[in-house]
Structure 1
């Protein structure tokens, strides 16, 4: 469900040429397709744009280079897929530190929008458990005084999710640098972070 895996791709023939070039990590082909005016906003069957697919390129450096090409060529950063996720959600879910850092530097990027399940990019980073990724997001969000304790539809905050999945270092970053609340409880099990950590 989470982690650095490609979305299920059953029939690549149904994908646009730009989608295929992105998933294959073909930087020069992407640059060529963009230069001849191929649509940057075309969606695949799962509702993903080429920019979203950069998060699932096997080689991180190629994915980042392609993300920069697409974003600087006018790809919309805040467009959502059918699950309400934008490219930042996907980058956090896949643990793509470089893409997240790039997106956070873009002024137009909305950093804490919830998807249809109520999860923010920080929630996905907490589930992923990469401490550097969590730290990057916490620093960005606290700089702009954005709520670290946003609750998803099940009542989980980023801290609750990090403790639920056993990500101790990510939990410590949320507590120390994000000053995340330790009093919140999820709606499902009514447990606080200390109880999830046991």
Structure 2
């Protein structure tokens, strides 16, 4: 069968063909033109069934594409919780970095994926990692969030998970100062030194 069949089956959500191809020994880590593996495509599509089949066939949860995304990093960043939980059973590199030098936790916090943040913290992702912008997950939740209840809960989860609110951004400004400046009173209260 042609090399692209696994990718085509994933793209078309053809789980029966995908299963047959994998059982016949097709490579679960076939890549497209952007360097994305079949599993990474399944994460983008939020196709839990395809991800489950690919993982059972030994797909690499850490294989990065041309922009430095891996199935683990993308599942965290996009809040693909069901797939993330499956991936965590297959030994992802919890210290993996995306193209911004961040862990899976940082974009999960920034995008408001509360449960994903909780799962990543429980898995052991470093809550105090600083990305290329000089920001931690806590800083991103404050600066790029909207101060709403979900972000208040994310800040609480991060603090309970070991985030250090005293770590400033590259300009020496703390998350508390950013929250105060933006009028996020509830978050500022959580971060009061």
TM value normalised by structure 2: 0.81
CA contact (8 A) 2:62 2:92 kept: yes
Aligned 1:34-183 pairs, distance under 5 A: 34-57=22-45, 60=46, 63-106=47-90, 108-141=91-124, 147-166=126-145, 167-176=151-160, 178-183=161-166
CA contact (8 A) 1:93 1:125 kept: yes
2:10 alignment counterpart = 22
Asked which structure has the greater CA Rg, the reply is: 2
User: RMSD between aligned alpha carbons?
Assistant: 1.9
Aligned length: 173
1:159 CA displacement: 0.7
- How far apart, CA to CA, are the structure 2 residues paired with 1:46 and 1:191? 38
Segments of structure 2 that go 5 or more residues without pairing to the other structure are 146-150, 183-193
Which has the bigger relative contact order, CA under 8 A and spacing at least 6?
1
1:105 CA displacement: 2.1
- How far apart, CA to CA, are the structure 2 residues paired with 1:196 and 1:114? 25
Q: Secondary structure at the match of 2:75?
A: helix
CA contact (8 A) 1:92 1:100 kept: yes
1:17 CA displacement: 2.8
1:184 alignment counterpart = 167
- How far apart, CA to CA, are the structure 2 residues paired with 1:124 and 1:169? 15
CA contact (8 A) 1:23 1:56 kept: no
Segments of structure 1 that go 5 or more residues without pairing to the other structure are 1-14
- How far apart, CA to CA, are the structure 2 residues paired with 1:185 and 1:45? 39
1:190 CA displacement: 4.1
2:20 alignment counterpart = 32
